Amino acid sequence: MVLSLWDMTMVVLLVEVQITHLVVHQERHKLLNLYLLEHILACQIQTFQQQVEMEVLEQ
């Protein structure tokens, strides 16, 4: 099963929400938020890649 358009949309929305949150709070916690955002996005991308790989293997 290939990732659906819904799955892709949810990934994009999650990223956008985190970036928006970063922008809103950047003056108070700029460096911490950048570090956390980078970590969160890296984890999401890794999970996303693993899902894609598993689904490719299942075919």
Contact between 19 and 56 under an 8 Å Cβ cutoff? The reply is: no
Query: What per-residue confidence (pLDDT) applies to 52?
Result: 86
Closest by Cα among 18, 23, 25, 21 to 41: 18
Euclidean distance between CA atoms 54 and 1, whole angstroms: 9
Q: What is the pLDDT of residues 3-33, one digit of tens each?
A: 687 888 888 888 888 877 777 766 666 777 7
pTM: 0.42
